[in-house]
Each structure stands twice: as C-alpha cells, then as structure tokens.
Amino acid sequence: MVDSLLLVIMIVGVLGIGSQWIAWKFRLPAIVVMSIAGLLAGPILGIINPQEDFGDLFRPFISIAVAIILFEGSLNLNFKEVKGLGKPVFRIVTWGAVLAWILGSLTAHYVAGLSWAVAFVIGGIFIVTGPTVILPLLRQSRLKPTPAKILKWEGIVVDPFGALLAVFAFETILFLSADSRDASALLLFLLASFFAIVLGYVFGKVIGWMFESGHMPEYLKSPAMFGAVIACFTIADEVKHETGLLAVTAMGMTLANIGISSIKDMRHFKENISILLISTVFILLTSSLTMDTLKDIFRPEIIGYVLLMLFVVRPLSIFISTIGSGLSLQEKTLVGWIAPRGIVALTVASYFASVLEDEGFEGASLVTSLTFALVFSTVCVHGFTIGWLAKKLNLSSEGKPGAIIVGSNRFSISLAKVMDELKIPVIIVDSSWDRLHQARRAGINHTHGEILSEQMEYTIDFTPYDYLISATEYDSYNALVCSTFVPEFGRKSVFRLPRQTNSGDHLEDIGHTIGGKELFKPAEGIEELKYKLKAGYVFRKTSITEQYKWEDYLQDKHEETVLLFVLKQSKQIEFFAEDTETTASAGDTIVSLMPPSKEFSKIREKIKGNKEASN
C-alpha cells in the first residue's frame, strides 16, 4: 500500500491516461481498460485504496467530477441536432426510462433477491447510461447519425433522472415505512428538483449574458465557467442530495441552445477536462472496491440479474417505448442492446448502499456488488460488440477513412473524383452555388454552406470523414479553416494546399501550429495545380507490388510529378505533406498528378504493340 497521497494521485493519473492511450492505440473500449487497471491497482494487487487515502475528500471529489462530466456532455445537447428525432428521443427518455425502472426493479426483487425497497432504489439507478461510457463508445464505433444521436441524448438526459428516481424511490419508501407518515419529505424533494432546474437555467442565462455582452474577458471565460458549474452543482446538492446533477444538466443545455459565439472554444476546454476526470474517476472507483465485493459478483442471483438486464429488460423497454416512433427494426435492435452503465451508476449506488444499510433494509449489502457486476459486464459486452453489431445491422460508417474537401475548383473536384473511384468517402463543401456547379456535373458528393458556420455541424455527418483538406484560392482562409478543425480531426489529419508564392497571402511568418500541414509540396499552391490540369496533367493510380517496388516507382516517375497520397493496403490514407515521411509497400496504391508526356508515351507504346501483334 502506498503511503504518500501525492504518489497515489500520480498513480491514478498515470493509470487513467495510460488506459486511454492503450485503448486508442489498440482500438479497445477505454472504460474496459480503465476498469481492469483500477482493479489491478486496487483490490487485486493492493497498491492503492483511494477511499482510505483521500478520506473525507473522496466523495466530494467524485461528485464534482461527475457534475463536470455531465455538464460537458449537456453542452452538446443542441435541440437542432434532434431535428426529426424528437419522437424516439422523447419516448426513450420518458416511457422507456419508466419501463426500464419498473422492469429492472421487478428483476432485482425476484431474481437478485433484494427487498422491494432496495429493488426500486436500485432500479432507478440502473436506468442511466451516461456520457462517461456512451461518448467513448460512439467515438470508437462510428455509428450512423440516427442511432448515435439517440444514444447520446439518452445517455446525457437520463443520467440525472436516474439519480432522481433513486432519491424519489428512497423518499417514498421512507414515507410508506414510517410509523407516522409525513408527506413533507416528498414535497420537499419535488420542490428541490424544480429548484435545481430553475437554478441551472438561471446560471446558464447569466453566464451566457456575461460572455456575450463583454462583461467577462476572454481569458477568464473557461475558468469562470468551471467555477459556475461547481457553484451550480453545490448549491442544488446542498438543498437536496443528487439534485445537483439535474442543475448542471439544465445549465449545459441552456448554454448549448442560446447561441453563444464562444461556446465551441469552451466546449473543447471542457472536453479536455472531462476526459481527464473520466479517466481519474473510473480508476478511483474501481480501485476502491474490495475483494469481498468482487467475490459476490459471481453469486448465481447476481449473474442471473445481469443476464436479464442485458437480454430482457433493456431490449423490451426500448422496443415497447419506440412503437410508432419511426425507428427501423435495425435501429431499435442496436439501441435496445447498447446500454453500458458508468460512473453515475457507481457513485449513486455507493451512496445509497451505505444509506440503505444504515436504515436496515434487506439486501442493501449486495448493492455495491450488484452495481459493479452490471457496470463491468455492460461496458465489456457492449464495448466489444457495438462495432460488430452496427456492421451487421448496416448502421456503421466503417470503411476507408474519408475526406472533407473545402473549396470547389478544378483541382479539388478532380482530386475528389479520384478518391471516389478508389471508394474513399469524400465530400466537397463550398459556400458558392456557382463553384459547386462543376462538382454537381462531375457527380461528386457535395454540400452547400460555410464550413466555419455552426449550422454545418447539423448539415454534415462528420462520422465517415477522418481528414480535412482546405483547398480554396485564399491562403489565409485555408489556414483559418485548418486551425478551426484541429480539435475535431487532430493536427495530423488537417491539411491545406501549399501557399501561393506569387499571388497568394504572405503567411511565411505564421506559427507552425497554425493552419494545418501543407500538402503536395513542392507544388506552389492552387493556381499552379489548376494550371497543371489545364496543361494536360493527369491523375494516375499506381499499384506497388513485390515486383514493382517503391524505389522503382521513384526512379521511373517524371521529375515534375506531384505526389498526392498513398492508399495503404490497410485502407488508411497517407498524404504527402510537409514534415511527413510517406512511403509505399506492396499492396499500396500511389495517387499522383503526372505530366501528360508519360501518358502519351504509354499510348504510343500500346498502339505500337498492337500493330506488331497484328502483323
């Protein structure tokens, strides 16, 4: 056991972020890796026990972390996003949640053997999925828009309601089991919940007004938001325990829908904080479990409960609640299967486990074991099957990584056409209908709009696209587009055409972190590339084989050939860009822009060969 609290904090941080990196590197569900890391560090090897190490700070830290995570998720809940999905989302977060509560409570009583009181409390907790588990799975699985949006909205909206249902069930049980029944506690709970919603709305409105009216300097916006979230959560939670989650959800949704110009910058800040907190909290919770809790997981009644929750309760509640909602059978099947439980379920259950045990309710000692069994089972099973099931149901955007090309012109259309021929998902975005005319004539997937506008988030499904290429005639605009989308795509996946040395903007002195990587060097910008096409240059696809190697290709290619990208055998794309060593091996395809002379010589050789064969 580590004695130094500072060392414990370091171990938790390293395990959390290390688990996220391992999950990214090997394409594994992050929650599964973090759970295993926490179990190894805690009950199995006994290196840390955060609950003892942090003492009285443990629960407040977990609560605030969950509040920030939930707030960050609710910042993404813009009502424009669910346009056309209002009915299924509403059904699932209302009737679906109630059905899941009732069915889960019946299962907990009759299968797990919990008393009615404990069963209805635990049933309320287990309707939650939550952003801590849903959002990482959505990033990993590349679902199509409809199921992805439904799962995201359900996870974030139902999260606070699950905690509130548990509190409501607990207060109702205390009221019914009391010798002298007093309805004031129930009334207080309902009033506290209403107060939490109003408080979150007011906080969101006030913060939004301060940010937009200039009463808050730019450098203080993110820290002020951070402090406001903690204040909003704490005030509501002090009035009534667990209503703080409802308050921060209302605050986040208010900010997401009032149109703050700087909301995207703050969202990126909150995403970074959220990822750090998710990693930390999951390690803290799993490493705080005991060996007795882990042994209880393998009791027959707990295993039976978990199986029924997976294969009966969740699918049944989704199928019944979405009757007549317009969802296809495939979409219902996927949504009905995916329901991983996460941090909110663990934290709320750990709170009620001690409270119910203190009140002497039968079965309360099993709550922690039951919760972890369901959490660990669902994150493992759903984490490893979501991608497979989505492909089987044709609800996955898996395939070759695609590219968004900003700017419609002769070169970008020709590049998109080559990508399309190689079955690479590609779309051209431009704010001018006139410039898009050629893309329409070429049959290239395109959309009209300003890529920098917020509306494009709801116009384009970004899921199939891993790369962004800004290919307009304006160097400074290309740099702006790339800088804007670095947080979305990553610095290694955002590109712009080379600066125009003669007629372009003079951007030689801009920082190397601004504007994305330059493509296709030593070409000299869009005008030169368009000129080459006008002069007869052609796009050529060359396959590399064991007989015709990369070195042979380099030796044979014309000195004026512009190397564009390599389509790897693994379906990944590697662009020829600055500071990037791109090579090709057997099975890869090289795409280049070549002078016409080589094409003409090949045609002449073919004609000559045909004549000789005929003679």
* DSSP assignment letter at 79: G
Tell whether 425 and 542 lie within a shared domain. Answer: yes
Does 236 fall in a domain?
A: yes
Give residue 470's identity as a one-letter amino acid code.
Answer: S
Residue-number span of the structural domain to which 522 is assigned: 402-614
Does 16 fall in a domain?
A: no
Domain end: 372, 392, 412, which one?
Answer: 392
Strand, coil or helix: what is 591? strand
Residue 104: band (very low, low, confident or very high) from pLDDT cuts 50, 70, 90: very high
- Tell me: the pLDDT tens digits for 26-48? 877 777 788 889 989 998 898 99
Residue whose entry in the numeric block shows the structure tokens 């998710």: 278
Does 24 fall in a domain?
A: no
Tell me what pLDDT residue 484 has. 83
Tell whether 383 and 488 lie within a shared domain. Answer: no
Q: Is the model's pLDDT at 313 over the cut of 90? A: yes
Give the number of domains in the chain: 2
Domain end: 351, 369, 392, which one?
Answer: 392
Q: Quick check: 430 and 453 in contact, CB under 8 A?
A: no
Residue 188 in tokens: 């207080």
Residue 27: how many other CB atoms lie within 10 Å? 8
Residue 452 in tokens: 């920098």
Distance separating alpha carbons of residues 29 and 24, to the nearest angstrom: 8
Tell whether 232 and 370 lie within a shared domain. Answer: yes
Tell me what pLDDT residue 64 has. 87
Which range (138-152, 204-218, 408-422) has the least confidence? 138-152
- Tell me: the pLDDT tens digits for 15-26? 999 998 898 788
Percent of the chain scoring above 70 in pLDDT:
85
Q: Is the model's pLDDT at 348 over the cut of 90? A: no
Q: Is the model's pLDDT at 598 over the cut of 60? A: no
Residue 180: band (very low, low, confident or very high) from pLDDT cuts 50, 70, 90: low
Top-confidence residue, 449 or 509 = 449
Tell me what pLDDT residue 394 has. 86
- Across 53-77, b (16+ Cβ under 10 Å) vs e yields bbeeebeebbbbbbbbbbbbbbbbb
Residue 193 in tokens: 């919940």
Tell whether 234 and 312 lie within a shared domain. Answer: yes
Tell me what pLDDT residue 236 has. 92
Residue 527 in tokens: 């005008």
Tell me what pLDDT residue 311 has. 93
Contact partners, residue 444, CB within 8 Å, separation at least 6 = 413, 416, 417, 420, 426, 428
- Tell me: the pLDDT tens digits for 573-593? 889 887 778 888 888 999 998
- Across 361-380, b (16+ Cβ under 10 Å) vs e yields bebbebbbbbbbbbbbbbbb
Domain end: 339, 373, 392, which one?
Answer: 392
- Tell me: the pLDDT tens digits for 373-427? 898 888 888 888 888 898 888 887 666 788 999 999 999 999 999 999 998 889 9
Tell whether 484 and 505 lie within a shared domain. Answer: yes
Does 410 fall in a domain?
A: yes
Q: Is the model's pLDDT at 106 over the cut of 90? A: yes
Tell me what pLDDT residue 317 has. 93
Distance separating alpha carbons of residues 207 and 507, to the nearest angstrom: 37
- Tell me: the pLDDT tens digits for 181-203? 566 767 887 888 899 999 999 99
Q: Is the bond preceding residue 522 a cis peptide, omega within 30 degrees?
A: yes
Q: Is the model's pLDDT at 607 over the cut of 50? A: no
Does 38 fall in a domain?
A: no
Tell whether 165 and 305 lie within a shared domain. Answer: yes
CATH of the domain at 423: 3.40.50.720
CATH of the domain at 216: 1.20.1530
Tell whether 487 and 534 lie within a shared domain. Answer: yes
Percent of the chain scoring above 90 in pLDDT:
19
Tell me what pLDDT residue 430 has. 92
Contact partners, residue 462, CB within 8 Å, separation at least 6 = 404, 488
Tell whether 352 and 428 lie within a shared domain. Answer: no
Residue 205: band (very low, low, confident or very high) from pLDDT cuts 50, 70, 90: very high
Average pLDDT, the chain: 82
Tell whether 380 and 439 lie within a shared domain. Answer: no
CA proximity to 415, closest of 435, 439, 399, 397: 439
Tell whether 557 and 484 lie within a shared domain. Answer: yes
Tell whether 505 and 546 lie within a shared domain. Answer: yes
Tell whether 355 and 295 lie within a shared domain. Answer: yes
Does 35 fall in a domain?
A: no
Does 417 fall in a domain?
A: yes
Mean pLDDT of 283-303: 87
Contact partners, residue 261, CB within 8 Å, separation at least 6 = 212
Residue 510: band (very low, low, confident or very high) from pLDDT cuts 50, 70, 90: low
How large is the C-alpha radius of gyration of the chain?
28
CA proximity to 363, closest of 551, 123, 49: 123
User: How many helices (H) and strands (E) would you count in the chain?
Assistant: 26, 10
Q: Which residues is 24 bridged to in the sheet?
A: none
Q: Is the model's pLDDT at 559 over the cut of 90? A: no
Q: Is the model's pLDDT at 123 over the cut of 80? A: yes
Q: Which residues is 496 bridged to in the sheet?
A: 470, 518
Does 606 fall in a domain?
A: yes
Distance separating alpha carbons of residues 268 and 271, to the nearest angstrom: 5
- Tell me: the pLDDT tens digits for 262-285? 666 665 666 677 778 878 888 888
- Tell me: the pLDDT tens digits for 565-578? 999 988 888 898 87
Helix axes 329-337, 367-392, angle to 10 degrees: 150
